[in-house]
Structure 1
Amino acid sequence: MRTGDAAIPRSKAPNGFAYLLLLVLIAVLGVASSAAVSLGASIARRDAEQHLLTIGAAFQQALASHGGRPRELDELLKDHRVPGIRRHLRRIPIDPLTGRDSWGVVRDAQGGIVGVHSLAPGKPLKRTGFYSRWKAFEEAGSYRDWVFGARPPVTATPPSPRALR
């Protein structure tokens, strides 16, 4: 035995213990990172859904303001039925879920647009807490079921004028 060896105390832990701890730490950090990314994506999607509701309200107002049934969404940008310039929308908004300015349209029997919806795939995260005019959205299976501007179905007894406000 060499004289220098006796002065160095040996660790009582097995040789691979520090390596195992490092692997466990990396696994825990990976799980935490994955949860944070998932939470961030969920928050971003909820924000996009809220933005979609705001845009949908603008579409609904523009279709009501137009009064008729436009054949194309561009007719909401400049209404040629009246003299001068009348705009119901300043521009066709970007769908916050798809990032495009293309929208699905719902047409009446004559081909006029009565509603718009997002073309985004997937099921909405928001399931409750809608304004009364969008209560049907609580049962939506996809974003295509969030139709903005469509009039309610015709019933045998017409609703009172107060109910339409």
Structure 2
Amino acid sequence: MGRLFGDERGITYLFLMFAIVLIGIATTTAAKQWKGMIQREQEADLLTKGIEIQNALALYSATMKAGRVTQGEVYPQSLVELTRLPKPFLRKAYRDPMTHGEWEYLKGPYGGIMGVRSRSVAEPIRKHEFPLPVRHFDGKKSYRDWIFQFPNPSMAGAFPSTVPVNVPPPNAMNQFPTGSNQSNQANSQPSDSSGPSGNIMVPPASSF
């Protein structure tokens, strides 16, 4: 009898250990699924808010340039500036959805903020089939590579590999000609997109 009870206790112990292992596997799987779901939500939020900021930068530049001759795009000094009345271009100064902190800002060649990107270096879940305004995100390896800027490669119709991440210095930018011969001078400029420093230049808004 003692041996029988001992065998039963051994079997019960094995079943208990097996159950603990199964619970651990199930918990790990559920945690991974939950983490993936949270990341998908943050990723979608990043795309939504990033595109909204990108559009706000475009509207701001177009409004500030109206009736003026400028040497390129005009950019705000902060995202808060885009939210100010009487004509706000952005509903609020969003924070980075991936880190819940500040964005990393891309400075324009003549000052101001021309774009934002997340500080997260995590690998995106979504890698293809992006919305038209950010189709150049295709194949990017991290969220930090998702740069929401104006102008951008998708608007210019360029391939991502032909557009630098860093903005070229002001002396490498195209200058907007003035006077009545503006269109003739623009047509006579060489088609080579490389500036004096060898960097590819951000195309002027008039080319879109």
TM category (shorter chain) comes to 0.7 to 0.9
One-letter amino acid matched to 1:95: D
How does 1:62-101 map onto structure 2 within 5 Å?
A: 62-67=56-61, 68-78=74-84, 85-100=86-101
State the partner residue of 1:81: none
- Partner SS, residue 151 of structure 2: coil
Identity of aligned residues (%): 31
Q: C-alpha root-mean-square deviation of aligned residues, in Å?
A: 2.8
Residue 125 (structure 2) pairs with residue 131 (structure 1)? no
Would the alpha carbon gap of residues 65 and 150 (structure 1) be closer, same or farther in structure 2, given more than 3 Å must change?
A: closer
- Partner SS, residue 95 of structure 1: coil
One-letter amino acid matched to 2:15: L
How does 1:1-165 map onto structure 2 within 5 Å?
A: 10=4, 13-67=7-61, 68-78=74-84, 85-100=86-101, 102-152=102-152, 156=191, 164=208
Measure, in 1, the Cα distance between the counterparts of 2:136 and 2:55.
18
Measure, in 2, the Cα distance between the counterparts of 1:12 and 1:108.
78
Deviation at 1:139, TM superposition (A): 2.2
**Which consecutive segments of 4 or more residues in structure 1 shift more than 6 A?**
none
**Alpha-carbon contact 2:128-2:139 (below 8 Å) kept:** no
**Alpha-carbon contact 2:58-2:151 (below 8 Å) kept:** no
One-letter amino acid matched to 1:74: V
In structure 1, runs of 5+ residues without a counterpart are: 79-83
TM-score by length of 1: 0.77
In structure 2, runs of 5+ residues without a counterpart are: 62-73, 159-190, 194-202
- Partner SS, residue 106 of structure 1: strand
**Alpha-carbon contact 1:106-1:150 (below 8 Å) kept:** no
Measure, in 1, the Cα distance between the counterparts of 2:7 and 2:127.
54
Q: How many residues align?
A: 148
**Alpha-carbon contact 2:124-2:142 (below 8 Å) kept:** yes
**Alpha-carbon contact 2:121-2:143 (below 8 Å) kept:** yes
Higher CA-based Rg? 1
**Alpha-carbon contact 1:122-1:142 (below 8 Å) kept:** yes
**Alpha-carbon contact 1:118-1:146 (below 8 Å) kept:** yes
- Partner SS, residue 86 of structure 2: coil
